[in-house]
Amino acid sequence: MMQNPSVTKLACYMSNASMAAVASISPLLFITFHDLYGISFTLLGLLVMINFCTQLCVDLLFSFCAHRFHIAKIVRSMPLLTMLGLSIYGALPPLFPERAYLFLVMGTVIFSAAAGLSEVLISPVIAALPSDNPERDMSRAHSIYAWGVAAVVLLSTLYLHLFGRESWYILVFIWISIPLTAFILFLCAQIPELPTQKSSAGTAKLFKNPVLILCILCIFLGGASENTMTQWCSSYLESALSIPKLWGDIFGVAVFAVMLGLGRTLYGKFGKNIARFLFLGFAGAFFCYITAAISPVPAIGLLACIFTGFCVSMLWPGTLIYTAQAVPNASVAVYALLAAGGDLGGSIAPQLLGSITDAVSQSGWAAAFAGNLSPEQVGFKTGMLIAALFPLAGTAVVLVLKRTIRKRQA
């Protein structure tokens, strides 16, 4: 029996807050890097892809090789890896501006690897801790990430406004305080023993479990539904709904994250029956995507984009909760496969919306049928309509998953 699981929980919460910092910092500094170091937007956008790809590689590595690692040591070392990545990211570009992008990539790879480890290991650690309400603890852990994103965006924006973008590197070192706190807490925390597959062959057998396959598909669609709006909401509000950029940035990132955190916090406090929440979340997200795409009233489109954050709030953590209930004693490999599925959805779907937007806006029929809209607005709205298929498919997967679990229990 663990003597003080609350310290371990707090360390896990701070680790998720670290993930929020590293996920938010680059997009906030894109314009700064472009102006100070002459880095193209194409290369800056590549930093986001590097982030996702690094995390996906870590997910896949732990899916098949978790049994080869000392899990407790890796959990304790994750904050150090985050600190190292942020230090390279913040210290070396100002010292060597002619090679700024190289050091930004190096830092991104390192702290993204730490984020991938957190994504794989924090959830099973939380699930393994003794608790009267494990669903509440899992939801709270993921709500910390959402509230962290909102805090990082708002405070970083305020800092850059007050002290100027030339001091951006000081901001990065300020956020190093979060993983430093996590590292200190993990030194004082007990890490529960986590079950792992004894070989990669054992992991391969997991793919024969239809419940797990459906759960991976569910988190894939949940990651797609969440990250598509997260990454495109600001641009969509500005380009398709003609909302000023300042308000598009605030509502596109900060308020969306607030709604994400609110949904997870409320479920942690009052929620039960996660399958119902998953179904309603997917259905609500589908309705919000459709409303945002077809509404001629900017205010309604804005509300639809914002409320999407509340609807998708439990899709990722909710799938983890559902999997923990449906697959008893789930191993680290199970959580790694789920993380890989979510990251894959979060990578593919936003890219698909961008590709559809470009293709439609450059086509002849967009200009012919646009009416009062520009071809780019038609492209964005078409992309948003196509993106609505992800949460729609999610509602069907949840229904099939519930039926499959009932059959296996019977």
Q: What CATH number did the domain enclosing 100 receive? A: 1.20.1250.20
Let me know whether 134 and 283 are in one domain: no
Which range of residues forms the domain containing residue 76? 1-190
pTM of the model: 0.81
Are 144 and 21 within 8 A, CB to CB? no
Number of domains in the chain: 2
Do 277 and 248 reside in the same domain of the chain?
yes
For residue 202, the model assigns a pLDDT of: 57
Q: How far is CA 405 from CA 213, 220, 280, 323, in A?
A: 12, 19, 18, 10
pLDDT at site 198: 60
Query: Are residues 36 and 110 both part of a single domain?
Result: yes
Buried b (16+ CB within 10 A) or exposed e, 296-318: eeeeebbbbbbbbbbbbbbbbbb
Rounded distance between C-alpha atoms, residue 167 and residue 379, angstroms: 37
Q: 259 and 285 share a domain? A: yes
The reported pLDDT for the residue numbered 100 is: 95
Is the distance from CB of 241 to CB of 296 less than 8 angstroms? no
Q: Looking at the structure, tell me whether residues 241 and 161 fall in a common domain.
A: no
The residue behind tokens 């950029």 is 245
Among candidate residues 158, 190, 222, the one where a domain is terminated: 190
**CA 380 – CA 293 distance, rounded (Å):** 8
Q: Residue-wise over 343-357: b if at least 16 C-beta within 10 A, else e? A: bbbbbbbbebbbebb
Residues 302 and 370 occupy one common structural domain: yes
Determine phi and psi for 186, rounding to 5 degrees: -65, -30
228 and 125 fall within a common domain: no
Listed residues 190, 213, 231: the one ending a domain: 190
End residue of a domain, out of 190, 209, 243: 190
The verdict on 204 and 179 lying in the same domain is no
Determine what percent of the chain is predicted with pLDDT higher than 90: 41
Q: Is the dihedral of CA 131, 406, 219, 236 positive or negative?
A: negative
Residues 131 and 205 in one domain: no
What is the SS3 assignment for 338?
A: helix
CB 306 within 8 A of CB 251: yes
| Alpha-carbon span 373 to 65, nearest angstrom | 52
Residues 34, 144 share a domain: yes
Question: Are residues 289 and 336 located together in one domain of the fold?
Answer: yes
pLDDT at 195: 67
Given a cut of 70, the residues of the chain with pLDDT beneath it are: 1-3, 41, 66-67, 195-204, 245-246, 248-249, 366-371
Retrieve residue 234's tokens. 């600001």
* 179 and 268 both lie in a single domain: no
